[in-house]
Amino acid sequence: MTERPRLAVVGAGPAGVAGALAAAARGVRVILVDAGEQAGGQFYRQPAPALGARRPRLPDHRWRTWERLRDGLDRHRSAGRLIHLTDHHVWCVQRESGEPGTAEGAPAGRGSTAGGFTVHALRGPAQEEGVTVRADAVLLATGGYEQVLPFAGWTLPGVVTAGGAQAMLKGGLVLPGGTAVVAGTGPLLLPVATGLAAAGARVAALVESASPGALLRRAPALAAQPGKLAEGAGYAARLLRHGVRTLTGYTVVAAHGTDRLEAVTVAALDRDGRLRPGGARRIPCDTLAVGHGMLPHTDLAETLGCTLSGTAVRVDAEQRTDVPGVWAAGEATGIGGAALALAEGHIAGRSAAARLHGTAPDPRRWAAAARARTRLREFATALDAVYAPPAGWPDRVPDDVVVCRCEEVTAGQMRAATGSLGAGDLRTVKLLTRAGMGWCQGRVCAPAVAGLTGCPLDPGRRPFARPVPIGVLADLPEADRTDLPEAD
Amino acid sequence: MKPPEPARARPGETCTVTFDGRTLTVLPGRTVAAALWAAGVTAWRSTRGTGRPRGVFCGIGVCFDCLVTVNGRPNQRACLVPVRPGDVIRTQEGTGRDDD
Amino acid sequence: MTKRLTCDVVVVGAGMVGAACALYAARAGLGVRLVDRGPVSGGTTGAGEGNLLVSDKEPGPELRLALSSARLWAELAREHGAAFEYEPKGGLVVAPTPDALAALREFAAGQRGAGVTAVPVDARQLTELEPHLAPGMAGGVHYPQDAQVMPALAAAHLVRASGAALHTGRTVTGVLRTPHGTVYGVRTDRGDIHAPAVVNAAGTWGGEVAALAGVRLPVLPRRGFVLVTEPLPRLVRHKVYAADYVADVASDSAALRGSPVVEGTAAGPVLIGATRERVGFDRSLSLPAVRALAAGAVGLFPFLRRVRALRTYAGFRPYLPDHLPAIGPDPRAPGLFHACGHEGAGIGLAPGTGQLIARALTGEASGPDLAPFRPERFDTEGGDVR
């Protein structure tokens, strides 16, 4: 076979770009398929060029990292080694059952040989036109999305996810209003609060449910990350400069307003995550940016048959899933941030290149990335322990609160499904209440439903990673192999 | 309350669109959601069950709360779709589709 | 091990058929316990569309059961209909060509003779019944007795209404039999449940439960994919399908058959289902199946082309070689009753099945009612394969 092997990389965030560059540099033809108009993903999200902004709001070292990645993409693209399909929204990746004509994609010692793969995408912002791309192997770098646990009033316009506020600010250079409260738990809240403040919003409070004690107890693990600590200290200093009041050990219990947000009530938590009597206060605001950590996007991996571990895709030391020919990296394999995603993506790209050339990779060649991966995963585990949602949150959600935002299913309906109708898992709660049957397919409400009903949070099965026009399905090519866009 | 414009933007030419018949001056390149936020609009959908107002929630295309009708096409995610000169944007009621 | 439980009858399987058996057995005055290794509606019931169809059945024992079940469904709906989205919306079978129409009308004439209301409609009337149907159809037949429920809700609400003790998350690991072979209960992973009667309502897994009692019941899975659209207003008013669907249902082919039934639902989405394939318990996505459904649906309703599918899922119909369920006592294991193997019609046939089982349990069922559904009919030694 003279033609160079092809690797499809799904997602052009840090993991996908790092993987694409590593593979393209090693003789693999890379097709980078991404939903964005520009590479970068959520973390390196760029303002639309027409907006004329100089650069995204990032600390300087991060900006330099991104410039390197972007220049690498440009270089490989102009050399014909990489195709970047922007505005391509992947809804399914299928393994071809056909003849094992591309056996070189099979990782050694993994049993059966891999066939090729077909990546099914929808093109354009309206996502109406079907496109398929063939490849010998796939790197899933599908990223993650934010988890928000419900409270009274969380469906009011003006209540947005912390990541959503950040995305609107980074990509659209726009703020939802004049006075914001940033709330929830997790390391994302700090940059969101400083970003909003720097952009001109009045940040009335940063409300973090983790207690200062929890942060202290994990101090040794966190202190092993001097870079991260310095970054955190930098954010803290900026908050101080903007006069942002920080309330740790507090949680939002209600958002108020009729047709839009007017205020929030926050309350102090005790050590067990229960409300402290008399600790509530009302803060007027027109924006609430709220988040409780992140969840991995695992739909494509699940449909390919990759084994998941908890809510993340399980990978080995080379970032291989247990489906031959499928690699995964970044938040999809466990939430850990952009630096970890870069390390994982780099390892995945190198491993895939070696395997696609029929050789076993030498892990010593990526020892630095592997060390960074180990360190950053430990840090992520420590962060998880600190920033767990407060234990008592489900008890504070009144029965009349809409929890499934799409199908408008209330907490009370969900409790009744498990209470008297015999549901014992998320799927049955869904069948009996419609929670999770709407447009978002339960991505937003699943953690909340799990918490409210006591059912385990399983990642769910979504063969369509996004809604697909019936016409696109009807017009699927008979044989699952079609057009590959040419690089030159 | 008019939201402040972040400092670093050096926007190019503006254009106009309509939202529920009202003419808005917007920056091309912004998403429909960003354009509406900049105009002080935070809700552009009413739910099909209880008719409650909704707007942006996740901001990255996952939650589908920001569905809106653009140029007669319902169920467009305002947080993903870029605004174009002359767009006719309408608040989406319920399923966004007529009964017949 | 927890304490031993007792009752009059143990129903194995908390799907739609198990729920109906529990309901009618309880109404007959029996103390019922319902056991399932998963949750309520966790198997094929939770993956079905909730078709209550007479239109797709040829005259015979299944159609008789469907007609009696249709009456029972209407009765149940008077009390619970809103809770499980009962809709007597009627079915509409369309024929694209004059030849197909002639065959359909002949089939319908036979059904009328068996008590089905089947009203021939011409092309113009088709458009009145379904304004968004593709133009150019030759005609069709309207079946007002076809109806729909939301099956998972129906099972859950009827279980609750039955008052039966519900044991979910509890796996039956054995069927208890005396040295003489008489069944006296079930063994589960959390203790024994003693009862003089055990009903096997385990659907697609009914063969496994039969095997626990030492008897053979050749239930096999026949996979079906369903497509679910975004929520829509009522653009599809009936259960609409093309005339070749009936041939698909009756087919013995293992290969993919994909003539879809298209219908709106009370909750908004249009359901497009379902394919028929014999591929074992393979749940992985099949794009050929999805493509067949989508193409068939667009052929019937062109507006669907631009409507989005939000999800697709697979279910496994419990299929017996002669396409008829197994209902009634098993003479090979006294005390064991079967109520499974309804293929794609289990929701529709559930109340009739439950009623037959209740009558069999109380000794009221007559031989002729149960004869076509005898569970031992596949035993080759007996030579009594239908």
User: What is the per-residue pLDDT across A158-217, written as a single tens digit (0 to 9) for each?
Assistant: 999 999 999 888 888 888 788 999 999 998 999 999 999 988 899 999 999 998 777 666
In the predicted model, is pLDDT for residue A261 greater than 90?
yes
C42 and A92 within 8 Å at the Cβ level: the answer is no
- The whole-angstrom distance between A277's CA and the closest CA on chain B is 31
Each residue of A184-213: b (16+ CB within 10 Å) or e? bbbbbbbbbbbbbbbbebbbbbbbbbbbee
B38 and A161 within 8 Å at the Cβ level: the answer is no
Distance CA C86, CA C80 (A): 8
In the predicted model, is pLDDT for residue A488 greater than 70?
no
Distance CA A306, CA C263 (A): 34
At residue C295, the pLDDT reads 94
Distance CA C173, CA A451 (A): 31
3-state secondary structure B42-95: CCCEECCCCCCEECCCCCCCCCCCCEEEECCEEEEECCCCECCCCCEEECEECC
CATH code of the region A393-453: 1.10.10
The number of beta carbons lying within 10 Å of the beta carbon of residue C61 is 18
Of C159, C304, C305, the CB nearest to A422: C159
Neighbours of chain B (3+ CB pairs under 8 A): A, C
- Between A176 and A26, name the one with better pLDDT: A26
> Which amino acid does the sequence have at A207?
V
Each residue of C216-231: b (16+ CB within 10 Å) or e? ebebbbbbbbbbbbbb
Distance CA A429, CA A436 (A): 9
For residue C342, give the nearest of C7, C65, C3 by alpha carbon. C65
- The whole-angstrom distance between B39's CA and the closest CA on chain C is 30
A470 and C39 within 8 Å at the Cβ level: the answer is no
Within 14-33 of B, beta carbons closer than 8 Å to C belong to none
* Residue of chain B with shortest Cα separation from A87: B80
For residues A316 and A305, is the Cβ–Cβ distance under 8 A?
no
At residue C2, the pLDDT reads 55
Q: Which residues of B touch C232 (CB under 8 A)?
A: 95, 97
Q: Mutual orientation of helices C16-27 and C151-162 as an angle, nearest 10°?
A: 30
Q: Which residues of A touch C152 (CB under 8 A)?
A: 428, 431-432
For residues C339 and C373, is the Cβ–Cβ distance under 8 A?
no
Of A420, A425, A462, the CB nearest to C160: A420
Could you state, in order of their start, the residue ranges of all structural domains in chain A?
Answer: 6-144+295-381, 148-292, 393-453
CATH code of the region A6-144+295-381: 3.50.50.60
For residue A283, give the nearest of A206, A211, A223 by alpha carbon. A206
At residue A227, the pLDDT reads 67
- Under an 8 Å CB criterion, which residues of C touch B? 131, 230-235, 268, 308
CATH 3.50.50.60 fits C89-144+220-319, yes or no: no
**Backbone φ and ψ of C119, nearest 5°:** -105, 115
Question: Looking at chain B, how many residues does it have?
Answer: 100
In a domain, B73, yes or no: yes
> Rg of chain B's alpha carbons, rounded to an integer?
13
DSSP C297-355: HHHH-GGGGGSEEEEEEEEEEEE-TTS--EEEE-TTSTTEEEEE--GGGHHHHHHHHHH
For residue C225, give the nearest of C310, C317, C314, C318 by alpha carbon. C314
Query: By CB neighbour count within 10 A (0-12 exposed, 13-18 middle, 19+ buried), where does A25 fall?
Result: middle
B4 and A167 within 8 Å at the Cβ level: the answer is no
Q: How far is CA C186 from CA C7, C20, C21, C214, C341, in A?
A: 11, 20, 17, 13, 21
**Backbone φ and ψ of C126, nearest 5°:** -55, -45
For residue C87, give the nearest of C129, C142, C148, C144 by alpha carbon. C148
Each residue of C3-35: b (16+ CB within 10 Å) or e? eebebbbbbbbbbbbbbbbbbbbbebebebbbb
The token pair at A420 is 């008297």
Q: How far is CA B97 from CA A42, B67, B69, C140, in A?
A: 32, 12, 9, 28
Within 334-363 of A, beta carbons closer than 8 Å to B belong to none
Stretch B72-100: mean pLDDT, rounded? 91
Of A407, A423, A467, the CB nearest to C39: A423
Q: Which residues of C touch A299 (CB under 8 A)?
A: none
In the predicted model, is pLDDT for residue C386 greater than 70?
no
Q: Which residues of C touch A431 (CB under 8 A)?
A: 41, 46, 152-153
For residue C243, give the nearest of C109, C92, C119, C345 by alpha carbon. C92
- Going by the DSSP 8-state scheme, the letter that residue A36 receives in this structure is S
A49-58, A166-175, C207-216, C222-231: least confidently modelled range:
A49-58
- The whole-angstrom distance between A405's CA and the closest CA on chain C is 14
Neighbours of chain C (3+ CB pairs under 8 A): A, B
* Residue of chain C with shortest Cα separation from B96: C232
For residues A412 and A399, is the Cβ–Cβ distance under 8 A?
yes
Total number of domains constituting chain B: 1
At residue A350, the pLDDT reads 98
Residue B61 near chain C (CB below 8 Å): no
Of B48, B98, B99, the CB nearest to C231: B48
Residue A54 near chain B (CB below 8 Å): yes
Arithmetic mean of pLDDT over chain C = 93
Stretch A228-237: mean pLDDT, rounded? 68
Each residue of C254-287: b (16+ CB within 10 Å) or e? eebbbbbbbbbbebbbbbbbbbbbebeeebebbb
| Fold equal for A148-292 and A393-453 | no
Angle at C140 between CA C139 and CA C145, to 5 degrees: 160
At residue C243, the pLDDT reads 84
In the predicted model, is pLDDT for residue C3 greater than 70?
no
C233 and B75 within 8 Å at the Cβ level: the answer is no
Q: Residue A181, SS3?
A: strand
DSSP A189-241: HHHHHHHHHHTT-EEEEEEE-S-HHHHHHTHHHHHT-HHHHHHHHHHHHHHHH
Each residue of A280-309: b (16+ CB within 10 Å) or e? eeebebbbbbbbbbbbbbbbbbbbbebebe
In a domain, B100, yes or no: no
CATH 3.50.50.60 fits A148-292, yes or no: yes
Of C234, C268, C308, the CB nearest to B48: C268
User: What is the per-residue pLDDT across C137-162, written as a single tens digit (0 to 9) for each?
Assistant: 999 999 999 999 999 999 999 999 99
- Under an 8 Å CB criterion, which residues of A touch C? 92, 94, 120, 128, 303, 305, 407, 417, 420-425, 427-428, 431-432, 434, 437-439, 441, 461-464, 467-471, 473-474, 476, 480
The residue among C127, C229, C230 with the most chain B CBs within 10 A of its CB, best to mutate, is C230
For residues A145 and A288, is the Cβ–Cβ distance under 8 A?
no
User: What is the per-residue pLDDT across A287-298, written as a single tens digit (0 to 9) for each?
Assistant: 999 999 999 999
> Looking at the domain covering C5-47+152-219+323-378, what would its CATH class be?
alpha beta
Which residues neighbour C359 within 8 Å (Cβ) at sequence distance 6 or greater? C28, C365, C369
Stretch C51-71: mean pLDDT, rounded? 95
Residue A396 near chain B (CB below 8 Å): no
Distance of alpha carbon C86 from the chain centroid = 15
In a domain, B7, yes or no: no
Which residues neighbour C254 within 8 Å (Cβ) at sequence distance 6 or greater? C277, C278, C279
At residue A53, the pLDDT reads 65
**Backbone φ and ψ of C165, nearest 5°:** -75, 125
At residue C211, the pLDDT reads 97
For residues B39 and B19, is the Cβ–Cβ distance under 8 A?
yes
Residue A463: band (very low, low, confident or very high) from pLDDT cuts 50, 70, 90: very high
How close are the terminal C-alpha atoms of chain C, in Å? 44
Distance CA B76, CA B91 (A): 11
Residue A487 near chain B (CB below 8 Å): no
Q: Which residues of A touch B64 (CB under 8 A)?
A: 406, 438-440
Q: Residue A365, SS3?
A: helix
Distance CA C82, CA C88 (A): 12
Which residues neighbour C339 within 8 Å (Cβ) at sequence distance 6 or greater? C17, C18, C21, C199, C200, C201, C325, C326, C327, C353, C354, C356, C357
- The whole-angstrom distance between C234's CA and the closest CA on chain B is 6
Of A51, A166, A440, the CB nearest to B62: A440
Each residue of A91-130: b (16+ CB within 10 Å) or e? bbbbbbeeeeebbbbbbeeeeebbbbbbbbbbeebbbbeb
Q: What is the value of pTM for the model shown?
A: 0.92
A23-32, C191-200, C286-295: least confidently modelled range:
C286-295
For residues B92 and B39, is the Cβ–Cβ distance under 8 A?
no
Q: Which residues of A touch B1 (CB under 8 A)?
A: 177-179, 286
Residue A176 near chain B (CB below 8 Å): yes
Which residues neighbour A403 within 8 Å (Cβ) at sequence distance 6 or greater? A150, A397, A409, A410, A411, A414, A435, A445, A448, A449, A452
For residues B6 and B34, is the Cβ–Cβ distance under 8 A?
no
C231 and B99 within 8 Å at the Cβ level: the answer is no
> Which amino acid does the sequence have at A183?
A
Q: What is the CATH number of the domain that holds B41?
A: 3.10.20.440
A94-108, A147-161, A342-356, C92-106: least confidently modelled range:
A94-108
Stretch C60-70: mean pLDDT, rounded? 96
Distance CA A330, CA A328 (A): 7
C152 and A470 within 8 Å at the Cβ level: the answer is no
Angle at B22 between CA B18 and CA B28, to 5 degrees: 35
Numbered ranges of CATH 3.50.50.60 in chain C:
5-47+152-219+323-378
Arithmetic mean of pLDDT over chain A = 88
Which residues neighbour A220 within 8 Å (Cβ) at sequence distance 6 or greater? none
Q: Which residues of C touch A467 (CB under 8 A)?
A: 230, 308-310
C291 and A439 within 8 Å at the Cβ level: the answer is no
In a domain, B28, yes or no: yes
For residues C34 and C165, is the Cβ–Cβ distance under 8 A?
yes
The token pair at C183 is 């069944």
Q: Which residues of A touch C287 (CB under 8 A)?
A: 92, 94, 120, 476, 480
Neighbours of chain A (3+ CB pairs under 8 A): B, C
* Full domain range(s) for residue B70: 15-93
Stretch B79-91: mean pLDDT, rounded? 95
At residue C118, the pLDDT reads 97
User: What is the per-residue pLDDT across C98-141, written as a single tens digit (0 to 9) for each?
Assistant: 999 999 999 999 999 999 999 999 999 999 999 999 999 999 99
Of C131, C231, C308, the CB nearest to B100: C131
- The whole-angstrom distance between C71's CA and the closest CA on chain A is 25
Peptide bond into C274 cis (omega under 30): yes
Q: How far is CA C309 from CA A22, A323, B67, C231, C305, in A?
A: 36, 27, 16, 10, 10
Stretch A274-280: mean pLDDT, rounded? 89
Distance CA C236, CA C262 (A): 8
B64 and A408 within 8 Å at the Cβ level: the answer is no
Q: Which residues of B touch C231 (CB under 8 A)?
A: 48, 95
- Beta strands B73-77; B67-70: pairing state: antiparallel
* Residue of chain B with shortest Cα separation from C267: B49
User: What is the per-residue pLDDT across A99-137, written as a single tens digit (0 to 9) for each?
Assistant: 433 333 333 333 334 579 999 999 998 899 999 999 999
Q: Residue C187, SS3?
A: strand
> Which amino acid does the sequence have at A137?
A
At residue B1, the pLDDT reads 40
At residue A436, the pLDDT reads 95
